Structure 1
Amino acid sequence: MNVLSVQSVSVSYGGVHALSEVSLDVEQGQLVGLIGPNGAGKTTFVDAVTGLVTARGRMKLDGQDLTGLPPHARARRGLARTFQSSELFEDLTVAENLQITADRPSWWRALGETLGRRVSPNSAAAQALSALGLEDLAHASAHQLSQGQRKLVGVARALAAGPRVVCLDEPAAGLDTAESAELGRRLRAIADDGTSLLLIDHDMSLVMGICDHVVVLEFGKVIASGPPAQVRTDPAVITAYLGASAVQPTAASRQHGGTPSADGPSKVVTTTPEPS
């Protein structure tokens, strides 16, 4: 079942087409990666889905049309996101930063109680902290955090709202290799627990290692879509990241019998695409 369905979304700035007819689906509990070279339109796509830029096309969350709704209305329906720059309330603690999104106005709580779903905001914040392994930082002030910790708190804050889908814009930026691997393990667990995730990141090991499905953008258009193993060997993807010469059989490969297959480039091309 598709939780988020985006069909033929386009964004233009004057004569510049930032996105052209981009379609993407995220299923219940699925972790979908959105990758592409710098300037491919990845953040613009998330901005369009969350209502921060004007876009053409159709967007649905749990079957309900989001098209034309302002950002706060989309958030209330269960669509959350993080940003490349983690904007936290510097004078608040980590727990208090999460509490802001976990808390609901009185009318919201009244509705939840009427429907028999009473969830403590404090509990939601605590669960989000636990999901990202941030319990020890709960009482630390935001201004004391490292850049990597700030990124993790941004993810936890999005989770504290209890969303149906979270769009993550480069959450591994500022993390070292071990921290990125740990983040991947936790994101995979969050998805397996039922929260759908759309992940943008330049860490190819992270994206290819944890995602169920990967979509690749170049110049605002989808050039590949499928399981990680399929996408990483797609000639169009290799060309987008490494250049056309990367998928051309070399003279040496021809001498050793390397020839292009029906599926694309010569089998001697095994390089995993990395961002520039």
Structure 2
Amino acid sequence: MSLRSAPGGVESDTKTTESVLRTEDLAVHFGGIKAVDGISIALEPGRIAGILGPNGSGKSTLLGAVTRLTKVTRGTMFFEGTEYSKVRPEKVARLGIGRTFQTVRLLDDLTVFENVQLGFDLISGSRMRRRTAADRDAERGAVETALRRAGLTDRGKLRPGQLSYGLQRRVEIARAVVMSPKLLILDEPTAGMNKFEREEISKLLLDLRGEGLTQLVVEHDVQMMVETCDHLFAMNSGKLIAEGTPQDVVRDSAVREAYLGRRDDDARDS
């Protein structure tokens, strides 16, 4: 994973041939607000990349852009080497990109199994055609596998409201996983969780990485990101300010200033 040159950002070479996701000079402007301003990243397969940054740095807007839910002002995006900058949002999942959102988005009038099943239906289009017995068997098998991967094997018949917040997050991850994504994007998957729940989600993400699933995670819990991610990008004011190993990024002076609001030398003098 690496950055290419971006206006006002940092520079290094980018290995495009190995990229699952690659963006070039990506920008999202809302009037005079430059929420994302010249972001160029590349994600290598089978690894967990994280995006750090203070509130308002543009992290979630970047995720919205790469999943085509947010209109891009300029720049290009590639998935497995193919440009998809103008692909309709509803077709992004069929490319192989799955995601979860900041807030839980489950239907409480459906069971856990049925909520996860919605993800399979989106990819297969099974609700739009007459299904055979083989189709139904394949669907059930896919949903059961996703539940198992998310640690929810014995909770398929429950309603989301009967689950803890941490388990509801797992249902969302299972719903994304059932779509067999090549890239899983997670927007603050541990927000609002206690320490035990965060550790369980971290373990789940590492297990999915062990199965070869590439992931891009936005999270405010710096310690969780350091322990979970293989590589970190740091953003501030819509720009990339650092990237590298988690340990290097959290020690970076620009990152510390973005979070603390002062430079390291100012901190030492205070």
1:108 CA displacement: 10
Are 1:36 and 2:56 an aligned pair?
no
- Residue of structure 2 equivalent to 1:18: 35
Contact 1:132 1:183 in 2 (8 A): no
1:136 CA displacement: 2.3
1:174 CA displacement: 2.5
1:17 CA displacement: 0.7
- Residue of structure 2 equivalent to 1:272: none
1:145 CA displacement: 2.5
Question: Letter of the aligned partner of 2:25 in structure 1?
Answer: S
Structure number with larger C-alpha Rg: 1
- Residue of structure 1 equivalent to 2:75: 57
**Which stretch shifts more, 133-142 or 37-46?**
133-142
- Residue of structure 1 equivalent to 2:10: none
Residues in 1 aligned to 2:151 and 2:218: alpha-carbon distance in whole angstroms: 21
- Residues 155-170 of structure 1: matches in 2 within 5 Å? 155-170=173-188
Contact 2:51 2:232 in 1 (8 A): yes
- Residues 219-234 of structure 1: matches in 2 within 5 Å? 219-234=237-252
Q: Secondary structure at the match of 2:78?
A: strand
1:106 CA displacement: 5.0
Question: Letter of the aligned partner of 2:147 in structure 1?
Answer: L
CA deviations on 1:198-248 (whole Å, 9 max, x unpaired) are 001111111111111100010000000111111011000010011224443
Residues in 1 aligned to 2:139 and 2:46: alpha-carbon distance in whole angstroms: 22
Q: 1:204 aligns with which of 203, 222, 241?
A: 222
- Residue of structure 2 equivalent to 1:47: 64
CA deviations on 1:143-164 (whole Å, 9 max, x unpaired) are 3233222222111111111111
Which runs of 5 or more structure 1 residues have no equivalent in the other structure?
A: 110-118, 253-276
- Residue of structure 1 equivalent to 2:15: none
Q: Would you say how many aligned residue pairs link Structure 1 and Structure 2?
A: 245
Residues in 2 aligned to 1:152 and 1:173: alpha-carbon distance in whole angstroms: 13
Which runs of 5 or more structure 2 residues have no equivalent in the other structure?
A: 1-17, 130-136
- Residue of structure 1 equivalent to 2:133: none
Q: Secondary structure at the match of 1:99?
A: helix
Residues in 1 aligned to 2:155 and 2:257: alpha-carbon distance in whole angstroms: 43
- Residue of structure 2 equivalent to 1:136: 154
Question: Letter of the aligned partner of 1:223 in structure 2?
Answer: I
Q: Say if 1:85 and 1:249 are closer, same or farther in 2 by CA, change over 3 A.
A: closer
Contact 1:151 1:173 in 2 (8 A): no
With the length of structure 2 as denominator, give the TM-score of the two structures. Answer: 0.85
- Kindly report the root-mean-square deviation, in angstroms, between the aligned alpha carbons of the 2 structures: 2.2
- Residues 144-183 of structure 1: matches in 2 within 5 Å? 144-183=162-201
**Which stretch shifts more, 158-167 or 127-136?**
127-136
- Residue of structure 1 equivalent to 2:25: 8
Q: Secondary structure at the match of 2:192?
A: coil
Are 1:120 and 2:138 an aligned pair?
yes
CA deviations on 1:28-48 (whole Å, 9 max, x unpaired) are 111000110001101100100
Question: Letter of the aligned partner of 1:164 in structure 2?
Answer: K
1:53 CA displacement: 1.2
Percent of paired sites with the same residue: 37
Contact 1:33 1:213 in 2 (8 A): yes
1:84 CA displacement: 0.7
Residues in 2 aligned to 1:250 and 1:195: alpha-carbon distance in whole angstroms: 42
Q: Say if 1:14 and 1:96 are closer, same or farther in 2 by CA, change over 3 A.
A: same
Contact 2:253 2:263 in 1 (8 A): no
Contact 1:94 1:139 in 2 (8 A): yes
Q: Secondary structure at the match of 1:244?
A: coil
1:249 CA displacement: 6.5
- Residue of structure 1 equivalent to 2:88: 70
